């Protein structure tokens, strides 16, 4: 595997959908593009180690979704935080960058946002990597129970319970370390930076709005599954099997709609890139890049 010294990462902004989208980019634009869509509670930072491992083979672009990372939302934009809105910003982003063909890496929140982008431009998608990016009802684990209570009754009390469980240093640290056999591989700046950015004025309310709206993603699962059946693009479903949020049946279900999908489980938790980045990079090169 080529080392990263010859493939520096650049950090840029693009104006799209009335939003100043921060993104990371590396690799030759003449190579196949890989669009990396992060999840909660992180940002494009989650791809910081993966990008250099693939930059000789792919043109990599990793944006920060609105409400996350360093993407900036002007107050006059009056942004309404929903997964439809995140997807619309992704549509504007790929249009601004003139990305006409790309494989999608989707994780966590990046799955419903990125798959809406795929539905908008199905002809542009050349491949899919789902790393704990759910698209099936059976993939939702028991860790969703407090959130389900919030969906069923979005009272102030239930909203506060979700906030207390998820939107603080301990809750985010737990997401990084739960089910991880080698916690010493997980850098503490991950959950620390995520928490710091959550503390920006108004951001916790944004996250609670998105958590509530996540229920609408479940109604879109049949649309996503229909896309898998119709597109039949090369697909790698690579899953931290101890993830309490997105459990193994959600990974196995991908083969119902694309029998050629490669499904693989890793002995780790939700943030599998923190412990298995070299292996995931190798499998992307093989399944999506066509390497032996």
Encode pLDDT of 164-177 as tens digits: 999 999 999 999 99
Percentage of the chain beyond pLDDT 70 is 98
Q: Looking at residues 122-127, what average pLDDT do you find?
A: 98
Residue 45 tokens read as 């930072």
Residue 25 tokens read as 């980019």
Question: Do residues 93 and 63 touch, judged by C-beta distance below 8 A?
Answer: yes
What does the domain layout of the chain look like in residue ranges?
Answer: 4-141+217-287
Q: Looking at residues 186-203, what average pLDDT do you find?
A: 96
Residue 4 pLDDT: 43
Catalytic, 270? Answer yes
Residue 219 pLDDT: 97
5 pLDDT higher than 60: no
d(CA 252, CA 237): 8
Alpha helices in 143-292, H assignment, sequence order: 145-152, 156-166, 169-177, 189-198, 203-213, 215-231, 248-252, 254-257, 273-287
Say which of 120, 270, 276, 279 is annotated catalytic: 270
d(CA 149, CA 191): 25
Residue 269 tokens read as 């938790």
d(CA 220, CA 218): 5
72 forms beta bridges with: 20
Question: Do residues 37 and 90 touch, judged by C-beta distance below 8 A?
Answer: yes
Cis peptide before 62 (omega within 30 of 0): no
Residue 247 pLDDT: 98
Residue 196 pLDDT: 96
pLDDT digits (tens, 9 = 90+) for 266-290: 999 999 999 999 999 999 999 999 9
Residue 6 pLDDT: 73
Question: Do residues 265 and 248 touch, judged by C-beta distance below 8 A?
Answer: yes
Q: What does residue 10 show for φ and ψ, rounded to 5 degrees?
A: -105, 150
d(CA 282, CA 292): 10
pLDDT digits (tens, 9 = 90+) for 215-267: 999 999 999 999 999 999 999 999 999 999 999 999 999 999 999 999 999 99
Residue 266 tokens read as 């890793």
Q: Looking at residues 34-39, what average pLDDT do you find?
A: 98
The CATH homologous superfamily for domain 4-141+217-287 is Alpha/Beta hydrolase fold, catalytic domain (3.40.50.1820)
61 forms beta bridges with: 25, 35
104 forms beta bridges with: 35, 128
Cis peptide before 114 (omega within 30 of 0): no
Residue 7 pLDDT: 85
Residue 1 pLDDT: 45
Q: Collect all residues with Cβ–Cβ distance below 8 Å to 259 and sequence separation of at least 6.
A: none
Residue 3 pLDDT: 46
Residue 2 pLDDT: 44
């Amino acid at each position: 595997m080529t080392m990263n010294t010859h493939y520096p990462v650049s950090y840029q902004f693009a104006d799209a959908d009335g939003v100043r989208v921060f993104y990371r980019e590396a690799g030759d634009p003449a190579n196949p593009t890989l669009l990396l869509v992060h999840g909660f509670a992180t940002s494009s930072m989650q791809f910081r180690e993966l990008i250099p491992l693939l930059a000789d083979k792919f043109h990599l672009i990793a944006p920060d979704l609105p409400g996350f990372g360093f993407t900036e939302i002007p107050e006059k934009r009056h942004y309404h935080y929903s997964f439809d809105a995140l997807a619309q910003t992704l549509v504007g982003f790929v249009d601004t960058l003139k990305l006409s063909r790309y494989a999608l890496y989707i994780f966590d929140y990046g799955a419903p946002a990125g798959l809406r982008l795929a539905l908008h431009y199905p002809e542009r998608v050349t491949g899919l990597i789902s790393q704990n990016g759910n698209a099936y009802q059976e993939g939702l684990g028991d860790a969703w129970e407090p959130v389900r209570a919030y969906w069923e009754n979005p009272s102030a009390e239930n909203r506060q319970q979700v906030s207390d469980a998820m939107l603080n240093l301990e809750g985010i640290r737990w997401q990084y370390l739960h089910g991880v056999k080698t916690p010493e591989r997980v850098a503490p700046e991950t959950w620390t930076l995520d928490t710091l950015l959550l503390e920006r004025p108004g951001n916790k309310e944004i996250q609670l709005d998105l958590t509530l709206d996540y229920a609408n993603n479940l109604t879109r699962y049949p649309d996503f599954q229909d896309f898998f059946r119709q597109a039949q693009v090369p697909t790698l479903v690579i899953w931290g099997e101890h993830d309490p949020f997105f459990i193994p049946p959600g990974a196995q279900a991908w083969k119902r709609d694309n029998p050629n999908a490669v499904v693989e489980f890793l002995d780790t938790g939700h943030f599998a890139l923190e412990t298995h980045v070299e292996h995931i990079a190798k499998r992307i090169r093989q399944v999506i890049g066509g390497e032996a």
